[in-house]
């Protein structure tokens, strides 16, 4: 195996990872002092939050999270996708780097991991094993390999130490966000953080993901719109996941294609989310674009990475049914009540900002009930909602954390809408919804 210059050894021990967080904090503090001195010299009186959120400090944090990988990088990815409309644009742009490929393990570290999982003579089991990964992300990296019988497989190898570091990484990243002021102290995040840790532990359990991969393959069945790779169990362990290699191109590559192809892909994305939520009762809740590939020749959406797949609670399904049924009926009062019942809105926010809430709902209802396919590429209404939401956001006493199950489901729904917007696609969402809602 040879190194290509982009590999960096993953800190696997508790002390080495803690040391990385310490260096990150010291580096950010140094950046704050430097930026503060510069602004004071210019006659400004900067706030601490302004000094923390400089592009230089954000770059330092993004670089360290990329090096740590694991839960630290995963949380950074979640923040960059879920809060892109709220965070300062400089921070959003830099955190977006975490959605790209991470540095991968150097060959020596990769060989050690595979020897621990497969035995010292693991190379003899392959006709060819491509040392350079075809993808590297937060928890593992993926390699292409050829078996002696000619089959091509994809091998996902987990970074050493990431499973054992999840709890500490989540706590450390949360502390950084608290200090930065991005997370208000008034919010009780304990249930959310506990659930985040639980899900990250599940994502690091490749035996569980193998079971979910098999389950999704059965759920999709012979539907010609989707393709789920088959599991290769003889090479799969708790830290290595092997599956059939499926060719395809990045879903974003469709941006420059014709409307028919873009709309077909978006329709498959929307239909998948609705089937997960209302039909199957199980949802892959990570909307990272890299979890999809597109086969132009067959017109099929390839589904990858099932570590974040989870059961959807019946009460969450019912909450969405009531909310969507009220929305399609155009009844603002029912929508508001359903939003509170489902946990999207807190009672305090509705009580203190009733007019603002109603203006936001009116915009959403107008968009939802326009005749014809929904144009995801027309995002003008998003800015209107964002401006109204910022008024409410300034009143921290009314900040509210929805139920954890709803948060994960909504993350998938929002991520799907974001991808459809990226494709500038149009989908008849109302037609797809009607089969799942009460008549």
Catalytic annotation, residues: 286
Comparing C-alpha atoms, which of 325, 316, 430, 300 is closest to residue 375?
Answer: 430
Q: How many CB atoms lie within 10 A of CB 368?
A: 16
User: What are 108's two structure tokens?
Assistant: 């020596």
User: What are 150's two structure tokens?
Assistant: 């000619």
Q: How far apart are CA 253 and CA 126, in angstroms?
A: 32
Q: How many CB atoms lie within 10 A of CB 90?
A: 15
At 143, give phi and psi (nearest 5°): -120, 150
User: What are 24's two structure tokens?
Assistant: 């990150």
Q: Which residues of 318-342 are buried (b: 16+ CB within 10 A; e: fewer)?
A: ebbbbbbbbbbeeebeebbbbbbeb
37 CB-side CA count, 13 A: 5
User: What are 265's two structure tokens?
Assistant: 């892909």
User: What are 329's two structure tokens?
Assistant: 């009926």
Q: Any residues with CB less than 8 A from the CB of 118 and at least 6 apart, and which? A: 125, 235, 237, 240
- Give the bridge partners for 380, in sequence order: none
Pairing of strands 240-244, 152-158: antiparallel
Q: How far apart are CA 103 and CA 9, in angstroms?
A: 9
User: What are 5's two structure tokens?
Assistant: 């210059």
Q: At 325, is the secondary structure helix, strand, or coil? A: helix
**Alpha carbon of 128 to those of 158, 244, 362: distances in Å?**
20, 15, 59
């Amino acid at each position: 195996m040879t190194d290509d210059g982009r590999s960096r050894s993953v800190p696997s021990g508790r002390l080495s990872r803690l040391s990385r967080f310490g260096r990150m904090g010291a580096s950010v503090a140094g950046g704050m002092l430097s930026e503060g001195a510069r602004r004071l010299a210019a006659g400004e009186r900067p706030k601490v939050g302004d000094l923390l959120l400089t592009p230089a400090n954000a770059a330092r944090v993004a670089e360290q999270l990329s090096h740590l990988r694991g839960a630290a990088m995963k949380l950074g990815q979640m923040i960059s996708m879920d809060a892109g409309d709220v965070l300062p644009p400089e921070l959003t742009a830099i955190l977006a780097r975490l959605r790209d490929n991470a540095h991968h393990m150097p060959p020596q570290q990769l060989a050690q991991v595979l020897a621990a999982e497969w035995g010292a003579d693991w190379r003899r089991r392959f006709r060819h094993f491509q040392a350079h990964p075809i993808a590297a992300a937060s928890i593992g990296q993926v390699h292409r390999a050829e078996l002696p019988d000619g089959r091509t497989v994809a091998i996902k190898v987990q970074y050493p130490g990431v499973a054992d570091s999840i709890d500490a990484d989540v706590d450390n990243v949360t502390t950084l966000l608290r200090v930065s002021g991005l997370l208000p102290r008034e919010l009780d995040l304990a249930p959310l953080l506990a659930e985040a840790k639980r899900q990250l532990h599940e994502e690091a359990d490749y035996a569980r993901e193998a079971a979910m991969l098999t389950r999704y393959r059965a759920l999709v069945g012979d539907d010609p719109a989707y393709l789920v790779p088959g599991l290769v169990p003889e090479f799969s362990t708790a830290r290595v996941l092997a599956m059939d290699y499926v060719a395809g191109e990045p879903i974003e590559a469709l941006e420059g294609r014709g409307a028919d192809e873009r709309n077909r892909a978006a329709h498959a994305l929307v239909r998948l989310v609705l089937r997960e939520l209302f039909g199957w009762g199980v949802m892959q809740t990570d909307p990272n674009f890299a979890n999809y590939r597109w086969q132009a020749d067959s017109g099929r959406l390839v589904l990858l990475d099932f570590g974040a797949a989870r059961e959807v609670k019946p009460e969450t399904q019912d909450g969405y049914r009531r909310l969507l049924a009220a929305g399609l009926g155009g009844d603002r009062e029912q929508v508001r009540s359903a939003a509170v019942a489902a946990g999207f809105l807190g009672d305090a926010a509705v009580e203190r900002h009733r007019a603002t809430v109603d203006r936001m709902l009116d915009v959403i209802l107008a968009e939802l009930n326009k005749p014809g396919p929904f144009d995801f590429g027309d995002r003008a209404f998003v800015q209107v909602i964002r401006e109204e939401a910022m008024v409410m956001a300034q009143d921290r006493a009314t900040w509210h954390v929805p139920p954890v199950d709803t948060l994960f489901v909504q993350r998938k729904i929002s991520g799907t809408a974001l991808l459809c917007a990226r494709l500038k696609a149009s989908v008849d969402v109302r037609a797809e919804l009607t089969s799942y809602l009460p008549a």
